[in-house]
Chains A and B, each alone.
Chain A
Amino acid sequence: MHKIKNEINKAYRSVAEKMMGEMSESTFLTKGQLTPDEFVLAGDTLVDKCPTWSWEAGSESKRNPSLPDDKQFLIIHDVPSRMRAKDLIDEDKNQINEIEDEDGWVIAEQKEKTEIEDIDKEEIKKEEEDEIVDIDDECDSDDDDDDDNILAKKDDEDEKKEDDEDGVVRCRRYNISLTYDKYYATPRLWLQGYGEDKEPLDKQMFEDVMAEHAKKTVTLEKHTHIDGPKQATIHPCEHANVMKKMIDVMMENGKEPTVDSYMFIFLKFLSSVIPTIQYDYTTDIEL
């Protein structure tokens, strides 16, 4: 049902997009949206602060004329994803005991964490370092937490696989791109995943999406700028609303939200949809 609705919506939108004039007036503060120019500005800031992101031109036939030819969409390559989203809430792996003390504190205790940590500390630590370097180095990150990545450690049954000859740890990797969605006037996030065997993933990508979003808001579709297999994309219909909410909070807190920070906030809130795809190396966002 969802699928049919989706298809009809898609058809409607593509007609509407053609008929709609270009958005030129900024609705960033009032609606959480971006004009094409603002998309470019926000993207430039992202690339500037996090050079692992870059602009791309994409397929010539799919070009959006309201964006510069060489700035059609943003992309970051080979983002590691070491575990599946469902493992984050796997009862067996994440068992937490709770007790209540006489002062009304709820005390949470993790079970059997230390054991695993000890066994593989060295090995994982090395992997962690290898991994993070390429993403993190150039990114403005002030917390290179090379220590306790407990989730990764806990998942080490999957981790123990041999390294490739080139020393790169085998795990799923994602190319993440941000396109400009004309209809919703927001960025739209796309995922192209590769398995450990470097083969493109299709439906398996849903395993890296939190259950509350999988298939409902994340669908496989043809990328608007890249030819090739279908990619997973997060439906942008609520993006502007969420951004608007964030902008309101910032203003309530006496901050002046700027288009510059759009992509950072945007990526931050989307990381809750795909928490195991670890692109989130930007610093905490203060609203």
Chain B
Amino acid sequence: MKDFKSQPLEKRKSDSKKVLKKFPTKVPIICYKDHNSVLPSLEKDKYLIPKSLKVLEFEQIIRKKISLGEKEALAFFVNEKLMPKKDSTMDEVYAQNKDEDGFLYIVYMEENISG
């Protein structure tokens, strides 16, 4: 993600515009692992996700990508600090939290709720 955000703001802005125009039913998400997390990294960090998808459904996509066992729990943080409601749509999360560059940044980490 560091790589992604190190691109100039103007470039990112025009990229997000372009991709939103091309895919009007999707939200552009940059998803990566939190620096403290011990989980595997994602191979790709750029995702176009249907607006109507729930946070929980997006979570399932990511779970599969990092081959998370069904006994392990995953936590999402939008902009590294906000826990989105699991039943919010990606569109809602995007509308409320998108970056000035037009992308939505989500980090993931393990969630060790249980013993």
Q: Interface of A with B (CB < 8 Å)?
A: 88-89, 94, 96, 98, 100, 103-110, 113, 143, 145, 148-151, 210-213, 216-218, 234-235, 237-239, 241-242, 249-250, 253, 268-273, 275, 278, 280, 284-287
Bound CA–CA A149/B75 (angstroms): 21
B side interface size, CB within 8 A: 42
Bound CA–CA A96/B70 (angstroms): 18
Contact B48 A273 (CB under 8 A): no
Contact A284 B82 (CB under 8 A): yes
Q: A105 contacts which chain B residues (CB < 8 A)?
A: 19, 28, 46-48
Given contacts A145-B89, A212-B70, A238-B112, 4 further A-B contacts (CB under 8 A): A98-B61, A103-B46, A272-B111, A284-B85
Contact A143-B92, Cβ < 8 Å, known A105-B48, A108-B61, A284-B82: yes
Q: A148 contacts which chain B residues (CB < 8 A)?
A: 52, 89
Does B44 count as interface, using CB distance less than 8 angstroms? yes
Does B24 count as interface, using CB distance less than 8 angstroms? no
Within 8 A of A (CB), among B52-92: 52-54, 56-57, 60-61, 69-75, 77, 80-89, 92
Bound CA–CA A145/B70 (angstroms): 29
Bound CA–CA A285/B79 (angstroms): 12
Determine which of B46, B57, B60, B81 lies in contact with A106 in the assembled complex, contact meaning CB atoms within 8 Å: B46
Chain A nearest CB from B78 CB (Å) reads 8
Bound CA–CA A249/B28 (angstroms): 25
Does B115 count as interface, using CB distance less than 8 angstroms? yes
Determine which of A94, A150, A272 lies in contact with B73 in the assembled complex, contact meaning CB atoms within 8 Å: A272
Bound CA–CA A94/B60 (angstroms): 9
12 A-B Cβ contacts within 8 A?
A89-B60, A105-B19, A106-B46, A110-B50, A151-B87, A238-B112, A239-B113, A241-B112, A272-B73, A272-B75, A275-B56, A280-B86
Does B49 count as interface, using CB distance less than 8 angstroms? yes
Bound CA–CA A234/B86 (angstroms): 19
Q: Interface of B with A (CB < 8 Å)?
A: 19, 23, 26, 28, 44, 46-50, 52-54, 56-57, 60-61, 69-75, 77, 80-89, 92, 96, 111-115
Bound CA–CA A148/B81 (angstroms): 26
Chain A nearest CB from B31 CB (Å) reads 9
Q: B85 contacts which chain A residues (CB < 8 A)?
A: 268, 271, 280, 284
Bound CA–CA A257/B75 (angstroms): 20
Bound CA–CA A100/B45 (angstroms): 12
Contact A275 B87 (CB under 8 A): yes
Contact A145 B83 (CB under 8 A): no
Contact A284 B70 (CB under 8 A): no
Contact A107 B48 (CB under 8 A): yes
Q: A145 contacts which chain B residues (CB < 8 A)?
A: 88-89, 92
